[in-house]
Amino acid sequence: MRIPESELILNPDGSVYHLNLLPEHISDTIITVGDPNRVALVSQYFDSMEVQVQRREFITHTGYYKGKRITVVSTGIGTGNIDIVLNELDALVNIDLVNRTVNEEKIHLHIIRIGTSGTIQESIPLGSHLVTEYAIGLDSLMHFYPLVQTGYETTICEALQQTLNLGFQPYCVRGSDILREQLGYDLVPGHTVTCPGFYAPQGRELRLGLKIENLMPLLQKFTVMEENIDGFILTNFEMETAALYALGRMLEHEVISLNAIVANRFSYNFHPTTDQVIDDLIRKTLDRLALTS
Ligand code: R1P
Ligand code: URA
């Protein structure tokens, strides 16, 4: 079936609408970062650079690191942007952009988020590197996609909805086991809450009050009273991971989220040298990616 021009918009040079990329511009190993300035902080370590493209907040660099072809792309902030980035990256590898048809043979991308995050648990210190096992989305993106969740994931969502007395159901998705083992084997394991904002949705109060007043303590103490979910706790906040995991599952890509912990919401501290924490995570991830096939 041909995908119409209005549904998959291409630029005059045939590149995808927002990312401004052609299929040959990307590797099947892709690092995503929120901050556009972080793209160069990753690609500065490339041995050679092949592609540099920018449109809006989406900067893409593709190059080689120790013989491995890697693409790094900025997503900007939030799950709305993740909707664009994941759909367009997938279109680049799984849709014939000339004939506008879905390819029969699917390519499965490896997508690694390197992002910053705030911990909600006292036991996870500033400067930690955390790998997300389950991500729970409090945003509305999955109200519009037919995401299939496991029984375990659904139980967590229902329990969290009850605990926070939410008028909607969150979504919960497990990330890639393969990538977690390859890249995050010695990182702090955690379960991440993806929020639709930085302030009230993460319990931060400046001049406005909070509708869910006790959001932070409720999340800090959240557990599920079911035998197979015993010991499940939420560890950190950020703003993209659940959407990456959910779209990754539906589009059949391997996705993992690696988090540099820069804020501690339990002790109310912010890391004095966040650039170092992020740089350490970037170099660790690149070295581990270079060892993968
Ligand atoms: C908020 O400051 C931003 O930081 C985190 C959040 O997910 C959000 O995007 O990630 P990045 O550092 O990758 O942008
Ligand atoms: N990013 C977030 O979304 N929250 C934090 O607390 C820190 C980084």
Question: Would the CB of 239 count as within 6 Å of ligand 2?
Answer: yes
1 part of a folded domain: no
Report the separation in Å between the CA atom of 198 and the middle of ligand 1, taken as the mean of its atom positions: 9
In the numeric block, which tokens belong to residue 134?
């389950």
8 part of a folded domain: no
229 part of a folded domain: yes
Report the separation in Å between the CA atom of 97 and the middle of ligand 1, taken as the mean of its atom positions: 31
Q: Which of 79, 25, 62, 27 shows the shortest CA–CA distance to 195? A: 79
Which of 220-245 are b and which e, b meaning 16 or more Cβ less than 10 Å from the residue's Cβ? bebebeeeeeeebebbbbbbbbbbbb
| Distance, C-alpha 93 to centroid of its chain | 19
Alpha-carbon distance 138 to 193, whole Å? 7
Helix (H) or strand (E) holding 224: none
57 part of a folded domain: yes
Atom of ligand 1 nearest to the CA of 260: 12
pLDDT string in tens for the chain (293-residue length): 999 999 999 999 999 999 999 999 999 999 999 999 999 999 999 999 999 999 999 999 999 999 999 999 999 999 999 999 999 999 999 999 999 999 999 999 999 999 999 999 999 999 999 999 999 999 999 999 999 999 999 999 999 999 999 999 999 999 999 999 999 999 999 999 999 999 999 999 999 999 999 999 999 999 988 877 878 999 999 999 999 999 999 999 999 999 999 999 988 899 999 999 999 999 999 999 999 98
In this structure, how many other beta carbons lie within 10 angstroms of the beta carbon of residue 143?
10
Which protein residue has the closest C-alpha to ligand 2 atom 8? 117
Alpha-carbon distance 112 to 93, whole Å? 17
9 part of a folded domain: no
Number of domains making up the chain: 1
Can you point out the beta strands (E) in the chain?
29-33, 48-55, 58-65, 68-74, 95-96, 101-102, 110-119, 129-137, 171-174, 188-194, 236-238, 254-264, 269-270
CA atoms within 13 A on the CB side of 183: 35
Instruction: Enter the DSSP assignment of 202.
Output: G
161 part of a folded domain: yes
15 part of a folded domain: no
115 part of a folded domain: yes
Number of the ligand closest to the Cα of 113: 1
Note the helical H segments in 18-120.
36-43, 79-94
Q: Which of 191, 53, 169 shows the shortest CA–CA distance to 117? A: 191
CATH number of domain containing 88? 3.40.50.1580
Residue 170: give the domain boundaries. Answer: 23-290
